[in-house]
Amino acid sequence: MQPTARVIEIFSSIQGEGVYVGHPHLFVRFWNCNMTCGYCDTDYKGPYEEYSVQQLSSEVERLLLEDGPFQAVSLTGGEPLLWKDFLKAWLPWLKNKGQRTYLETNGTLPQAFAEVLHWIDIIAMDFKPPSATFDRAYWKEHEEFLRLAYRARKEIFVKIIATRQTTDVEMEYSLRLIASVHSRIPVVLQPVTPWGIVSEGPSPEQIQRWQWCAGSLLKDVRVIPQVHRLLGVR
Ligand code: SF4
């Protein structure tokens, strides 16, 4: 039986996070997530439409023609890797269309990632310190995920989402873990945009301390907030 996927929305906008901030992307937002981050601003359990591979291809093709060109098609969520069987069936079509694929992921599902990475061009992987998510720690999964991407020679960067509660110990642990895979993996320190039960981003002193610590371990570290939220675009 052909796989289907639940999709919350498909829209064109500006990439608001990470090293490709400002680029025009076409976003496909998949339903559901395996995490429950305290600052999550996405209604990932909200209304959705069920798409077959053919239906999603038609809709994406229409938007590519009407709103394109785009720098990439961003697979976002929720957690898009929850739909790995669908992605395995759909991504070959997207690549045949000559599109760059950009995976936005919480980096906690390495086995699912292994099954689709062949069709992924760019990976924007989150590191989720437990103080920011109010969830359990995912260090083991994050490390496995990152090593997999690096071994496959994929273009990957890591976003560390930080709040006022993020501790120096957590931050240093995250940075050392990334550096243990490779010191040239780009890292974005992303101060959280207050939302939900998270009411404060990190202080300027915290950000500067972490930037200094990161710079001593890694070659390419940038502090970038969520730009789409500053601009008021989705
Ligand atoms: S991983 Fe992303 S989509 Fe899932 S709960 Fe956390 S912030 Fe929300």
How far, in whole angstroms, is CA 93 from its chain's centroid?
22
Residue 79: CB within 6 Å of ligand 1?
Answer: yes
pLDDT at 183: 98
Kindly indicate the confidence band of residue 232, based on its pLDDT and cuts at 50, 70 and 90: confident
Mean pLDDT of all residues belonging to the chain: 94
- Residue 226: CB within 6 Å of ligand 1? no
d(CA 199, CA 192): 9
Backbone angles phi, psi at 221, to 5 degrees: -130, 130
Kindly give the pairing relationship between strand 4-14 and strand 49-52: antiparallel
For 123-141, write each residue's pLDDT tens digit: 999 998 888 778 889 999 9
> Which CATH number does the domain housing residue 39 bear?
3.20.20.70
> Considering the entire predicted model, what is its pTM?
0.95
What is the rounded radius of gyration, in angstroms, for the C-alpha atoms of the chain? 17
**216 vs 131: which has the higher pLDDT:** 216
Answer yes or no: is the C-beta of 78 below 6 A from any ligand 1 atom. yes
Which bin fits 232, alpha (ψ -120 to 50), beta or left (φ > 0)? left
**How far does residue 65's CA lie from ligand 1's centre (Å)?**
30
Please check the confidence at residue 60 and state whether its pLDDT lies above 90: yes
d(CA 4, CA 1): 9
Model pLDDT, residue 38: 82
Distance 94 CA to ligand 1 centre (A): 25
**What does the alpha-carbon distance between residue 139 and residue 129 come to, in Å, rounded to a whole number?**
8
Task: State how many domains the chain has.
Answer: 1
Nearest ligand 1 atom to alpha carbon 78: 3
| pLDDT at 41 (0 to 100) | 84
Instruction: Quote the ligand 1 centre to 37 CA distance (angstroms).
Output: 5
- Percent above pLDDT 90 for the chain: 81
- Token reading at 141: 């999964």
Give the closest residue (by CA) to ligand 1 atom 8. 40
With a 6 Å cutoff on the Cβ, whether 90 touches ligand 1 is no
198 pLDDT more than 80: no
Q: Could you tell me the distance, in angstroms and rounded to a whole number, from the CA of residue 63 to the centre of ligand 1?
A: 26
Q: What is the pLDDT of residues 79-128, one digit of tens each?
A: 999 999 999 999 999 999 999 999 999 999 999 999 999 999 999 999 98
Enter the DSSP assignment of 158.
E
Q: With bands split at pLDDT 50, 70 and 90, how would you rate the model's confidence at 193?
A: confident
62 CA distance to ligand 1 middle (Å): 28
Q: Report the alpha-carbon distance of residue 122 to residue 217 in Å, rounded.
A: 23
**Rounded to the nearest whole angstrom, what is the distance from the C-alpha of residue 77 to the centroid of ligand 1?**
8
- pLDDT band at residue 27 under the 50/70/90 scheme: very high
User: Domain range for residue 143?
Assistant: 4-231
Residue to probe by mutation, ligand 1, list 27, 39, 40, 104, most atoms within 8 Å of CB: 40
Backbone phi, psi, residue 127, to 5°? -105, 130
